[in-house]
Amino acid sequence: MDKDQNISFPADDSSAAAPEGARKGRRGATGRDGGPNRGPGRDDKRGDKEQSEWEEKIIQVRRVTKVVKGGKKLSFRAVVAVGNHKGQVGIGVGKASEVVSAIQKGVVDAKKSLISVPLVGATIPHQITGKTGSSRILLKPAAKGTGVIAGGAARAILELAGVGDVLSKSLGARSPLNVARATVDGLSNLRTFEEAARLRGVSIRQLFA
């Protein structure tokens, strides 16, 4: 064969047809035509909306140091409160080597220890004192429009429980974890008028007589 002879090859039509096919495939994958290929994204968003009634508040995040044989081991402790503003609230503690993991563990622990709080309108039915360790907190019902007169951990617990009008005073140690637990203890021991009358074996009219 001579070197000067020109060799021609047939044109490959696949290179020209590839962009059109690729474009069609992209349209089907992205679902621009409103087809069924939209993926499960919307269903996940609906599930998130259903679970959005639970609100989380971080009460405290502390760095904890543990002395081991090889030196010091650092970790984090997160105190988290969870509530739905409808009479249910819980508190949990999570420990991990990262802050995000500690908060997630605290949320899971808080949802395991939910309590139901009896409410009379937007306040609590009666006065009570919650105790945990050396922490004590006094809770008193308040008139409409008073608001949540509390601070720190107690305020977070009361707001998540749905209490809108209440008076509180910390009477003991002010550790955030113990104050939060004392507040939960006081709320868990609340009783409605119907429950108090039933426990005493009298009617509600006799209870207030």
Q: At 158, is the secondary structure helix, strand, or coil?
A: helix
Please give the radius of gyration of the chain, using alpha carbons only, rounded to the nearest integer. Answer: 31
Percent of the chain whose predicted confidence (pLDDT) is above 70: 75
CATH 3.10.20.600 for domain 52-115 = no
Residues 6 or more apart whose Cβ sits within 8 Å of residue 30: 37
pLDDT of residue 206: 81
What band does 44 get if pLDDT is binned at 50, 70 and 90?
Answer: low
At residue 51, does pLDDT exceed 60? no
pLDDT digits (tens, 9 = 90+) for 3-21: 454 544 444 544 444 445 4
CATH 3.30.230.10 for domain 117-195 = yes
The CATH 3.30.160.20 portion of the chain extends over: 52-115
Give Dmax over CA atoms of the chain in angstroms: 124
The Cα angle at residue 151 between residues 150 and 152, in degrees rounded to 5: 140
Rounded to whole angstroms, the Cα distance separating 66 from 33 reads 58
Percent of the chain whose predicted confidence (pLDDT) is above 90: 63
pLDDT digits (tens, 9 = 90+) for 103-125: 999 999 999 999 999 999 899 99
pLDDT digits (tens, 9 = 90+) for 170-206: 999 999 999 999 999 999 999 988 888 888 888 888 8
CB atoms within 10 A of CB 172: 16
Q: Which structure tokens are listed for 74?
A: 């650092």
pLDDT of residue 162: 93
pLDDT of residue 207: 77
The CATH 3.30.230.10 portion of the chain extends over: 117-195
